[in-house]
Amino acid sequence: MDLSFTRIAGGIGAPQGFLTSAVSCGIKNPAQPRLDLACIYSATPCSSAGTFTTNRVKAAPVRVSQAHLRKGDIRAVIANSGNANACTGVQGIRDANAMCDGIAKPLGLKRSEIGVCSTGVIGLPMPMMRIAPHYAALIAGLGPDQGAAVAKAIITSDTHPKELAIAFELGSHTVHIGGCVKGAGMISPSMATMLCFITTDANIPSDSLRKGVLECVEDSFNRITIDGDMSTNDTVLVLANGASGMSQIRRHGPRCKQFRAALRWVMLELATAVVRDGERVTKFVTVNVCGARTYLDAKKVAEAVSKSALVKSSWNGGDPNWGRIIHAVGYSRARIREELVDIHIGGKAACLGGLQTATPMDELRAIVAAPEFEIVINLNQGAADYTMYSSDLSPEYIDFNRSEYAYWKQARKDGLV
């Protein structure tokens, strides 16, 4: 397939016909306000698609956005950081609805045309008294150049905002895809603790967009893990408004394939950016399992290795400990045979047929000392493969996550708890 594209600036504001904005409400800490409320708006009606956490405990905004997408397409999104609006009961649903109403009325849209997302601490009521006064400024600020501000407004423990945009030729038109993502902890397969927004001026019908988004999320966001914890708020929302002027993409046509490839590339870039910026992460590790009897076996092995606390600790220490890797392969519940397993670290054989190789330890240590490396686990039993993107687990991660007490103190000051 011919797929070449150019990285451009502008993030989710880069595609034509999208206006965005962000403001500071002081949701997390009124004494130190930072950008924490964002809006994305398509000037024209658009197709939309979303995927959401499979956690049975779902935040109120997840429930509300899912309901809106079931009714039809959404055309605008409101998102906040600093409070997840999760485990907040009926009041949480009311607050999420109120956020939708806050931008729906001034934009002349129905409530069900709005997507709503929240990320932050779980279990505390939303400080709506700090959000509501800012709807007007949020709408007034909408412009074509505010993509970076949205990327900034949705981050929590991330060390930096993460966004990108690309331009590529689709038929005779130039099409753009822009995206931003937040997420650094509570990252695990089946949707990470993560918000991701993607805009595009491609012209694609909703059903086709939805199918493409599901497929691309499966190949990107569902393949990353930092700490193995799945969040209550994970959301990917994609809006496609057709403002590039192209004719509608036909299902199964060549342009459909090309668009999907571009979308997959954008999602994979954003997903891996989340791992690279994981909480106190020092290594980015690609875990590539091949030679499995089935796709599911390959996936089980990749997940077990990527999530093992002992394996991740050894990566943190720069230790190419294949013994710990194979022990995780063994407990993955995949049908493996120890005596067939090969493990390559950065292209060097560490284990062949379940046994240690003669590769000098120092060569392997040099590979694992680098900030990025690849582990290839060949089960030598079939043709199925699966790749995951993982990280080390550092003492600093635990330190960082020892307490969320500061959030509770603020909530008490606000009279919310």
Closest CA relative to residue 46, chosen from 211, 201, 257: 201
Residue number, 105 or 337, with CB nearest to its own copies: 337
Q: State the CB neighbour count (10 A cutoff) for residue 45.
A: 13
Residue number, 199 or 316, with CB nearest to its own copies: 316
If one asks whether residue 408 binds its own copies (CB under 8 A), the answer comes out as: yes
Residues numbered 350 to 379 that lie near its own copies (CB under 8 A) are: 351, 353-356, 361, 365
Total of chain residues touching its own copies, rule CB under 8 A: 72
How remote is the C-alpha of 89 from its chain's centroid? 25
Taking CB under 8 A as the criterion, the residue among 121, 154, 167, 198 binding its own copies is 121
If one asks whether residue 398 binds its own copies (CB under 8 A), the answer comes out as: yes
Among the options 156, 193, 235, 286, which is catalytic?
193
3-state DSSP assignment of residue 122: coil
Q: Which amino acid is at 382?
A: G
If one asks whether residue 394 binds its own copies (CB under 8 A), the answer comes out as: yes
Active site residue 193: yes
Residues numbered 224 to 253 that lie near its own copies (CB under 8 A) are: 227-232
CB 335 within 8 A of CB 292: no
CB 366 within 8 A of CB 347: no
Quote the DSSP letter at residue 143.
B
Supply the minimum distance, in Å, between the C-beta of residue 119 and its own copies.
13
If one asks whether residue 260 binds its own copies (CB under 8 A), the answer comes out as: no
CA distances from 75 to 19, 114, 165, 238, 413 (A): 11, 6, 20, 10, 36
Site string for its own copies, 308-327 (x = CB under 8 A): xxx--xx-xxxx-xxxx-xx
Residue number, 205 or 323, with CB nearest to its own copies: 323
Q: List CB contacts of 374: < 8 A, sequence separation 6 or more.
A: 285, 286, 287, 288, 345, 346, 347
Residues numbered 180 to 199 that lie near its own copies (CB under 8 A) are: 185-186, 188, 190
If one asks whether residue 119 binds its own copies (CB under 8 A), the answer comes out as: no
Site string for its own copies, 124-143 (x = CB under 8 A): x-------------------
Active-site positions read 193
